Structure formats: C-alpha cells, structure tokens
Chains A and B, each alone.
Chain A
Amino acid sequence: ILNVEQSPQSLHVQEGDSTNFTCSFPSSNFYALHWYRWETAKSPEALFVMTLNGDEKKKGRISATLNTKEGYSYLYIKGSQPEDSATYLCACPGAGNNRKLIWGLGTSLAVNP
C-alpha cells in the first residue's frame, strides 16, 4: 500500500517569513505528485501536478520541486502572508489499473500578521 507522508503536521510563521514543507512518497512506480491548498470553509484547490524528476513549478509566491528518485517533493512559500494560512495536501496515484489518489494528512500553516 502506498504511503504518502507530510511534514511537519503544523507550522506557525510570522508574516513575511518564507517557509517550506515536505511530501514523501515511495519512489517506485511513480506516476505523479499533486499539491492542493485547502483554506478553512473553502474547497481544496489544486496548486500543482508534477510528473518529471527535477521538475519545478511556480504559482506566484508558491513553488514546488520534485525528486522522484528519492521520493520527496518540497513546497515553498516565499514571504508568507496571512491569506496563505491553509492546510496543504499532497497526493500520489497508487499502483493498479485505476491509479486512485492516495492522500497525505496535510501540513496546516498559520501565518500570523
């Protein structure tokens, strides 16, 4: 069974700090790595889908890197703002014909003004 693990579980930073967190996954049978942001009282929103080793994607102040050989992805937020406060989820398709997404527990980020 594929295990997707995220660390840390929660994070508190001050406005303007840069931060990063990790998603770990088995490096064998890799298909893709998804990052989502889930703000309180809203629906989860897709940030990135990454498929290639060494890939780096960016969306505003948020960027992500992927290392499929060692089985991890980093999500970076530069100059955190209070509106960045959310739970950040990662997920990987599992093995098998249907490749259903297997989800991590998330990293809960709180940015203090």
Chain B
Amino acid sequence: DGGITQSPKYLFRKEGQNVTLSCEQNLNHDAMYWYRQDPGQGLRLIYYSQIVNDFQKGDIAEGYSVSREKKESFPLTVTSAQKNPTAFYLCASSIKPTIYSNQPQHFGDGTRLSIL
C-alpha cells in the first residue's frame, strides 16, 4: 500500500542535542510538508518542499532544518536552537505543489518529541 511513513513514533531529546525525524513516502508525490501541533493550536507549517532539491520556510522554521535530496524523503532536523521542541510532528505530502490548492494532503502517523 502507498503511504507516508514517519519514524520514530516517540523520540526523546537531551538538552543541546540535534535530532532528526524521518519521513518517507511512496506515493510519488511532488510536495512534502512538516507540521507541528501543540495543545490548543492548529497545525503550524514548519517547512515545505514543492520539488526535489527545493524547500521553503513555513511559519515557524526557526530552530529546524530540512533536506529534500530524494523525492520520497523529507527528513526534519530539530536543532538545539529550537528552545521549545516538545510537540507532535506530522509529515504530509500532496501530489502537486501547494499552488494547486485543490490537492488534498496525505499524512503520516506522526512523531512525538519530548525533552529529557
């Protein structure tokens, strides 16, 4: 079955440590996204990529970095500069870039990141 796989499901980070969240899709989608969810807030966009080797900052990119070296992979690194990283992280993809606003997004199961 085609889908989006996020790993790990739970992740713990020590102070000052960088951690990388994995997101892989086998849907052959062009666009991929990283969202953060905090209690009482809507999904907030961290980074997105419209095509391989391209990515753009979302609304809350500070303290995060991404790469898009392969179409199927869009890993998110939470750096030590992100002062409040405890949250639920969702990866998503869409068949076409966001400019085609009628394309639904497909989501992974998420990664919950906590600080030790």
Q: Is the CB of A49 within 8 A of B98?
A: no
Provided the pairs A43-B110, A89-B43 are in contact, do residues A101 and B105 lie with their beta carbons within 8 angstroms? Answer: yes
Q: Identify the closest chain B residue to A32 (Cβ).
A: B101
Q: Identify the closest chain B residue to A6 (Cβ).
A: B42
Q: Is the interface of A mostly helix, strand, loop or mixed?
A: loop
Range, interface on chain A: 20 to 34
Name A46's contact: one of B40, B42, B59, B105 (CB within 8 Å): B105
Task: Determine whether B66 belongs to the interface, using a CB cutoff of 8 Å to chain A.
Answer: no
Q: Is the CB of B106 within 8 A of A46?
A: yes
Task: Determine whether A26 belongs to the interface, using a CB cutoff of 8 Å to chain B.
Answer: no
Nearest CB of chain B from residue A64's CB, rounded to whole Å? 13
Q: List B contacts of A31 (CB < 8 A).
A: 101-102
Q: Is the CB of A32 within 8 A of B56?
A: no
Residue-wise, chain A 74-113 has the 8 Å CB interface mask toward B (1 for contact) of 0000000000000001010100011111111110000000
Q: Which of A32, A34, A43, A45 has the most CB of B within 10 A?
A: A43
Residues in B lying within 8 Å of A, measured CB to CB: 4, 40-45, 48, 50, 56, 58-59, 90, 92, 97-99, 101-110
Q: Is the CB of B107 within 8 A of A49?
A: no
Task: Determine whether A59 belongs to the interface, using a CB cutoff of 8 Å to chain B.
Answer: no
Residues in A lying within 8 Å of B, measured CB to CB: 4, 31-32, 34, 36, 41-46, 49, 51, 89, 91, 93, 97-106
Q: Is the interface of B mostly helix, strand, loop or mixed?
A: loop
Q: List B contacts of A32 (CB < 8 A).
A: 101-102
Nearest CB of chain A from residue B59's CB, rounded to whole Å? 8
Nearest CB of chain B from residue A53's CB, rounded to whole Å? 14
Name B90's contact: one of A41, A44, A91, A105 (CB within 8 Å): A44
CA of A4 to CA of B43, assembled, Å: 12
Q: List A contacts of B107 (CB < 8 A).
A: 43-45
CA of A97 to CA of B56, assembled, Å: 12
- Apart from A43-B4, A98-B48, what are 17 other A-B pairs with CB-CB below 8 Å? A4-B42, A34-B104, A34-B105, A43-B108, A43-B109, A44-B105, A45-B107, A46-B104, A49-B102, A49-B104, A93-B101, A98-B99, A100-B58, A101-B98, A101-B105, A102-B42, A103-B43
